């Protein structure tokens, strides 16, 4: 695959004409956090059909699927860690200043992508044509073509709502499938009283922001005859002095762990350096000893937590959807007759 890009806002960024509205934490019965009073945005336009086609083309590339597909008992089929090497356009899109401005607006505060590994995490549920239906153009239930057997589709389907909190404070969820015929597939958010808020399904090319590290949420089961591709990019507050609540418990079983750990450590040390610079710039000479003592203790805890996230056991168990894909891919190869 060619990694030539470029993301051009005039072509690839869908205009934002109307304010999409927001769901506030207070609407869910929660107190506002230090991050933002916004629990979630309502769906807003983000990428044009041409941008969606190019993003999908990078995801469904067979080499990308064979090397960057992961699964566990909570994530039936995800593609991640492919940006920027295998998905230059996707990377350029999410990191473009115009997209950052749109995301910041919807989050209510400036937020920053955590690191490259969390750009373009894509959840895949196969449609009626199975792996063969994964193309740049969305696979529709009514489309013509050979239908896949249930055994091919089932490993990619959410069987029950997968309630969880994300590893990162904010996520931007982009819909890459046509949702007009969806049955299920909505995001649910658990409210303070234990009831659930059902979020509207974003149309294709639309996105929503969620404080996913704070709020229990899930994706409702969908019909096994529907393709559903949704892309998630994860964020933290841009302000280095904000409490950092990032963790790794939901992503280690669906990652190349050495690559994830290296990017995790780089980001944590960069954040520590930014905090040290801020401290040097703002510390009070009259109370320097007390302030330095507090700073050392806080950052020591931060570094210890950084290590724990890389070493503590996780409850999730890896599965082998990638193996199902590779078996299907091998079966597509033409038979060579001796």
The angle, 0 to 180 degrees and rounded to 10, between the axes of the packed helices 88-95 and 49-60 is: 130
Residue 25 has a CB neighbour count (10 Å cut-off) of 21
| pLDDT computed for residue 283 by the predictor | 83
Q: What is the pLDDT of residues 67-106, one digit of tens each?
A: 999 999 999 999 999 999 999 999 999 999 999 999 999 9
Q: CA 124, 130, 134, 138 torsion: positive or negative?
A: negative
Q: Does domain 9-326 have CATH number 2.20.70.10?
A: no
DSSP state of 142: T
Between CA 13 and CA 6 the distance in angstroms is 12
Residues 6+ positions from 251 with CB-CB distance below 8 Å: 80, 118, 167, 260
pLDDT at 143: 66
Query: Which residues of the chain have a pLDDT value below 70?
Result: 1-5, 143-144, 224, 335-338
Contact 227, 130 (CB under 8 A): no
What is the DSSP code (8-state) at residue 334? P
Instruction: Give per-residue pLDDT as tens, 146-181.
Output: 888 888 888 898 877 789 999 999 999 999 999 988
Domain boundaries, the chain: 9-326
User: Taking the model in full, what pTM does it have?
Assistant: 0.94
Q: Is the bond leading into 84 cis (omega within 30 degrees of zero)?
A: yes
């Amino acid at each position: 695959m060619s990694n030539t890009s470029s993301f051009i806002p005039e072509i690839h960024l869908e205009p934002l004409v109307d304010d999409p509205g927001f769901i506030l934490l207070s609407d869910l019965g929660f107190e506002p956090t230090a991050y933002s009073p916004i629990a979630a945005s309502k769906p807003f336009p983000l990428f044009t059909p041409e941008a969606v086609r190019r993003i999908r083309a990078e995801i469904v590339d067979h080499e990308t699927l064979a090397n960057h597909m992961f699964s566990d008992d909570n994530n039936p089929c995800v593609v991640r860690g492919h940006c920027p090497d295998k998905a230059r356009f996707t990377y350029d899109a999410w990191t473009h200043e115009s997209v950052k401005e749109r995301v910041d607006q919807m989050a209510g505060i400036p937020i920053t992508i955590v690191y490259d590994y969390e750009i373009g995490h894509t959840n895949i549920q196969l449609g009626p044509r199975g792996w063969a239906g994964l193309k740049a153009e969305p696979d529709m239930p009514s489309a013509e073509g050979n239908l896949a057997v249930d055994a091919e589709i089932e490993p990619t389907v959410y069987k029950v709502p997968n309630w969880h909190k994300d590893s990162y404070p904010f996520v931007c969820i982009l819909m890459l499938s046509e949702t007009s015929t969806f049955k299920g597939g909505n995001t649910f958010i658990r409210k303070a009283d234990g009831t659930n808020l059902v979020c509207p399904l974003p149309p294709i090319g639309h996105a929503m922001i969620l404080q996913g590290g704070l709020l229990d949420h899930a994706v409702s089961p969908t019909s096994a005859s529907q393709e559903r591709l949704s892309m998630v990019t994860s964020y933290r507050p841009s302000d280095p002095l904000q409490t950092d609540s990032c963790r790794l418990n939901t992503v280690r079983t669906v990652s190349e762990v050495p690559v994830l750990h290296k990017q995790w450590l780089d980001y944590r040390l960069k954040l520590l350096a930014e905090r040290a610079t801020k401290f040097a710039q703002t510390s009070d000479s009259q109370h320097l000893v007390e302030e330095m003592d507090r700073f050392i203790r806080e950052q020591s805890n931060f570094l210890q937590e950084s290590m724990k996230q890389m070493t503590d056991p996780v409850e999730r168990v890896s599965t082998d959807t990638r193996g199902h894909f590779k078996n299907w891919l091998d079966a597509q190869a033409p038979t060579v007759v001796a």
